[in-house]
Amino acid sequence: MRILLTGARGQLGTDIAARLPDRDEVVPVDLPEFDLTDRDTALGVVTQFQPDVILHCAAFTAVDLCEEHSETAWRANALATRFIADGARRVGAHVVYLSTDYVFDGTKAGPYLEWDRPNPQSVYGR
């Protein structure tokens, strides 16, 4: 299987790459070589590598800095994700997107599930 791994140098991307089977072909991408907030770059990466699966781990995860730099956070966490999804649609790839519990407000007594209604309280969660 051909896997495009975004955010490959980040904590999550590094951990995931270490656990992928050797039989898979992993194509790691990250800044500064690949700025996924640029539409042409993001679409170009996906169409060039023609992955079967995209593990989209690229994100701006510094919660406090997201509050101070909301436009940068939106570009990295929302816009880049849209571009990756658009590229995946073009080549027929599946996308695995790993989110955060910050999309919820923390008021639920038990664990959150994928279909629970989000209610982010911060820029990072949005």
Q: How far apart are CA 72 and CA 91, in angstroms?
A: 27
Q: C-alpha angle 69/73/77, rounded to 5°?
A: 180
- Do 86 and 41 contact (CB within 8 A), yes or no? no
124 carries an active-site annotation: yes
| CA atoms lying within 13 Å on the CB side of residue 120 | 12
Given the residues 97, 102, 112, 124, select the one marked as catalytic.
124
Bridging pattern class, strands 94-97 and 2-6: unpaired
Furthest C-alpha separation in the chain: 45
Contacts of 119 (CB under 8 A, 6+ apart): 103, 104, 105, 107
**Where in the sequence numbering do the catalytic residues fall?**
124
